[in-house]
Structure 1
Amino acid sequence: MLNHPTLDTLYTLGLHGCIKGFKALEADPAAATLSHAEWLGLLLDYETTGRQQKRFEARVKRAKLRQEAAIEDVDYRAGRGLDRALFLKLASCQWIRDHRHLILCGPTGIGKSWLACALGHKACREDFSVLYQRVPRLFAALDLARGDGRYAKLLASLARTDLLILDDWGPETLTADHRRDLLEIVEDRHGRGSLLITSQIPTDRWHQVIGCPTLGDAILDRIVHAAYRIDLTGESMRKIQQPKDFD
Structure 2
Amino acid sequence: MLKHPTLDQLHTLGLHGMAKAFVEVAASDEAGGLSHPEWLGLLLDREASLRQDKRLAARLRVAKLRQQACVEDIDYRSPRGLDRAMMQKLINGGWIDAHDNLALIGPTGVGKSWLASALGHKACRDNKSVIYQRVPRLFEELALARGDGRHARLLRSLGRADLLVLDDWGLEPLDAAARHDLLEILEERYGRKSTLVTSQLPVDRWHEIIGDPTYADAILDRLVHNAHRIELTGESMRRARAKSTIAS
TM-score range, shorter chain: over 0.9
Question: 1:83-135: per-residue Cα shift (whole Å, max 9, x none)?
Answer: 11111110111111111111000001111000100111111111111111000
Q: Once the 2 structures are TM-superposed, how far is the Cα of residue 171 of structure 1 from its aligned partner?
A: 3.1
Aligned mates of 1:93, 1:24 — CA distance in 2: 36
Say whether residues 1:186 and 2:186 are aligned partners: yes
Q: Once the 2 structures are TM-superposed, how far is the Cα of residue 74 of structure 1 from its aligned partner?
A: 0.8
- Matched ranges for 1:1-247 at <5 A: 4-242=4-242
Aligned mates of 1:16, 1:95 — CA distance in 2: 36
Question: 1:166-198: per-residue Cα shift (whole Å, max 9, x none)?
Answer: 000013221111111110110111121110100
Aligned mates of 2:196, 2:233 — CA distance in 1: 18
Q: Percent identity?
A: 64
Aligned mates of 2:223, 2:157 — CA distance in 1: 20
Aligned mates of 1:171, 1:157 — CA distance in 2: 24
Q: Once the 2 structures are TM-superposed, how far is the Cα of residue 241 of structure 1 from its aligned partner?
A: 1.0
Question: 1:37-65: per-residue Cα shift (whole Å, max 9, x none)?
Answer: 12111111110000000000111111111
Q: Once the 2 structures are TM-superposed, how far is the Cα of residue 28 of structure 1 from its aligned partner?
A: 1.6
Task: For 1:210, give the aligned amino acid.
Answer: I
Aligned mates of 2:91, 2:31 — CA distance in 1: 38
Q: Secondary structure at the match of 2:102?
A: strand
Runs of 5+ in structure 2 lacking a partner? Answer: 244-248
Q: Secondary structure at the match of 1:90?
A: helix
Aligned mates of 2:11, 2:234 — CA distance in 1: 56
Q: Once the 2 structures are TM-superposed, how far is the Cα of residue 31 of structure 1 from its aligned partner?
A: 2.4
Q: Secondary structure at the match of 2:235?
A: coil
Aligned mates of 2:242, 2:122 — CA distance in 1: 24
Aligned mates of 1:150, 1:70 — CA distance in 2: 32
Task: For 1:124, give the aligned amino acid.
Answer: C
Number of residue pairs matched?
242
Aligned mates of 1:129, 1:178 — CA distance in 2: 24
Aligned mates of 2:156, 2:119 — CA distance in 1: 23
Runs of 5+ in structure 1 lacking a partner? Answer: none
Task: For 1:164, give the aligned amino acid.
Answer: L
Q: Once the 2 structures are TM-superposed, how far is the Cα of residue 159 of structure 1 from its aligned partner?
A: 1.2
Aligned mates of 1:27, 1:98 — CA distance in 2: 48
Q: Once the 2 structures are TM-superposed, how far is the Cα of residue 242 of structure 1 from its aligned partner?
A: 4.8
Aligned mates of 1:100, 1:242 — CA distance in 2: 36
Aligned mates of 2:25, 2:129 — CA distance in 1: 34
Q: Once the 2 structures are TM-superposed, how far is the Cα of residue 146 of structure 1 from its aligned partner?
A: 0.9
Question: 1:171-229: per-residue Cα shift (whole Å, max 9, x none)?
Answer: 32211111111101101111211101000010011110111111111111111111110
Structure 1 outlier segments of 4+, above 2 Å: none
Aligned mates of 1:229, 1:110 — CA distance in 2: 15
Aligned mates of 2:46, 2:159 — CA distance in 1: 34
